[in-house]
Amino acid sequence: MAQEKIWLSTPHMGGNEQKYIQEAFDSNWIAPMGPNLAIFEENLEKYLGLGHVAVLNSGTAAIHLALILLGVKSGDEVLCQSMTFSASVNPIIYLGAIPVFIDSEPETWNLCPIALESAIVDRIAKGKKPKVIIAVDLYGVPYKIKEIRAIANHYSIPILEDSAEALGSCYKGRRCGTFGDISILSFNGSKIITTSGGGAIVTNSVALKEKAIFLATQAKEDAPHYQHVEIGYNYRMSNICAGIGRGQMEVLQKHLLLRTEMHEFYLDLFKDIKGVTVFTAPNDGYVSNYWLSTILVEPTKTLGISRETIRLKLEEANIESRPLWKPMHLQPVFDKYPYYGNYVAETLFINGLCLPSGSNLTMADRNRIRAVILNLFNK
C-alpha cells in the first residue's frame, strides 16, 4: 500500500483559529469587515515592529494595489526579479504596464545589483525611466537590501518588496516586509502562515494604508448614496479569514523554529554528500524564515545524479519535491519582454530543488525522506 503523501508545505493550524471564526459567526460579521480585521492588522504591525498593515484577500491583490499606489500606469516599465512566482509579475500586466526582468545573484538568489543598475541605465538611455523595482525575498531569504536600496535611492525609483514568502525573516535585525516603499505579504495555503487565502500591504504611512483599504473596498466616496470618483477593487480580506490569521499569529514564532529545524535536518542529511548544497542565508545579517528548504545539485560532482533524479526518486516514495521557480523571462507568457542579466537564475532553475519543509512534518516523515536520499547516494 502506498504511504501517505509528504507535501512541500501544508497549512498548520495552531488551535485558536476556530475560536476566532466562531466569534465571527456569533457576532454575524460574515463579511469583508468586522473586528478580526483590525486585530489581525494590529498583530501584524506589532510583529513587524514597523509600518501600517492593510489585510487583503490575496498577495496578488496586494501587489496590484501596491503598483497602483506607486503610480504605475499603462505603458510604464516595472523592473522585476525574474526568478520568482508569476504572481509577482501578473499585476504589472493587469495595469497595461511592461515588465523588465532582472537576473539574480548567487548569494541570495534575489535581484542582482549589477544587472539591476545596468537595466536602469539602459532603460533611461532608451527614453523611459522605470517606475518601480519589484524585489523579492525568495524562499524567505532577504534580497541584498543595502545594495538595492542604494541603487533605488540613487535613481529615485521606489521599491515594492514582495515578502510573500518571507514573513518572519530579518535583515540586520529588521523584519522583511518593512523594507519596501510599499511591501506585501501573502497568507496563501502554502505560505508560512495561512488564512486559507489572503495577503497584506505594508506601508509606512497611515494615509496609504487607508487609501489601500479604500481601493480594496470598491472606492466608495463618503456620501449617503454610492458615489465613485476612482476605479475600485473587491480585494479586502473577509472577517472569517482574518480570524484564522489571528490564530496563526499565535503560533508563527513556533512554526518559524520548526521550519528552521527542517533546514537543519537537510544540512545534516546532505553534509557528506558531494555536489549537493543546502541553500542557506549568506551571513548573520540575513535571517531566513526557511519557508522552503532548497538544494542545488551539481551533476558533475554527484556522479551524474541531477535534481531530476532526486525528484523522481522522492516521487516514487510519494514525497513531493519541486524544481525552483522557473524564471519569468523563460516563460512563454513573458518571453517577449526585456531581460537584463546572464544565466544565474536559469542555472539555479536547472539545478535547484525545493524539499518538504512544513512546520508539521513528523519524525517519521523525516525518516522517510532520509531513507530515500541515503539510498540514492549509496550511503
Ligand X SMILES: *Cc1c(COP(=O)(O)O)cnc(C)c1O
Q: How many CB atoms lie within 10 A of CB 245?
A: 28
Nearest distance in Å: CB 264, ligand X:
23
First and final C-alpha spacing in the chain: 26
**Closer to ligand X by Cβ: residue 87 or 344:** 87
Residue of 70, 72, 87, 240 interacting with ligand X (CB under 6 A): 87
Catalytic residue among 131, 144, 191, 209: 191
The residue among 102 and 164 lying less far from ligand X, judged by its C-beta, is 164
Angle between helices 59-69 and 206-216 (to 10 degrees): 120
For the bound state, the minimum distance from the C-beta of residue 164 to ligand X, rounded and expressed in Å, comes to: 3
The CB-of-188 to ligand X minimum distance in angstroms stands at 4
Q: How far is the CB of 71 from ligand X (least distance, A)?
A: 21
**In whole angstroms, what is the distance from residue 285 CA to residue 308 CA?**
33
Of the candidates 7, 56, 90, 9, which has an alpha carbon nearest to the alpha carbon of residue 195? Answer: 56
Query: What part of residues 6-65 is at the interface with ligand X (CB under 6 A)?
Result: 58-60
Using CA atoms, how far apart are residues 167 and 304, in angstroms rounded to an integer? Answer: 36
Q: How far is the CB of 68 from ligand X (least distance, A)?
A: 16
Q: Build a one-symbol-per-residue string for 173-202: x at contacts with ligand X by CB under 6 A, - elsewhere.
A: -------------x-x----------x---
**Distance of alpha carbon 131 from the chain centroid:** 21
Residue 301: active-site member: no
Which strand ranges, in their side-by-side order, compose the sheet holding 293-297? 276-278, 293-297, 352-355, 322-323
Query: Least Å distance between CB 212 and ligand X?
Result: 15
Q: Which residue in 82, 145, 143, 4 sits closest to 324, CA to CA?
A: 82
Q: Does residue 84 interact with ligand X by CB under 6 A?
A: yes
C-alpha 34: how far from chain center: 27
Helix, strand and coil percent figures for the chain, each rounded to 5: 40, 15, 45
Among 162, 181, 346, 365, binds ligand X (CB under 6 A): 162
Q: Is 365 helix (H, G, I), strand (E, B) or coil?
A: helix
User: In terms of CB distance, is 186 or 293 closer to ligand X?
Assistant: 186
Residue 200 C-beta: closest distance to ligand X, Å: 9
| Binding residue (CB under 6 A) for ligand X from 20, 85, 286, 337 | 85
CA distance 345 to 105: 8
Indicate the residue among 81 and 260 with the shorter CB distance to ligand X.
Answer: 81
* Three-class DSSP category at 215: helix
Contact indicator for 296, 340 with CB cutoff of 8 Å: no
Range 227-246, binding ligand X (CB under 6 A): none
Residue span 327-356 as binding mask against ligand X, x where in contact by CB under 6 A, dash where not: ------------------------------
Strand ranges, E, within 103-235: 132-136, 159-162, 170-171, 174-175, 182-186, 199-203
| Contact pick of 76, 77, 103, 165 for ligand X (by CB under 6 A) | 165
Q: Which residue is nearest to ligand X (CB)?
A: 59
Establish if 164 lies at the interface with ligand X (CB under 6 A): yes
> How many residues interact with ligand X (rule CB under 6 A)?
14
Of the ranges 115-123, 157-165, 170-178, 255-263, which one interacts with ligand X (CB under 6 A)?
157-165
Please give the positions annotated as active site. 191
Residues that bind ligand X (CB under 6 A): 58-60, 84-85, 87-88, 136, 162, 164-165, 186, 188, 199
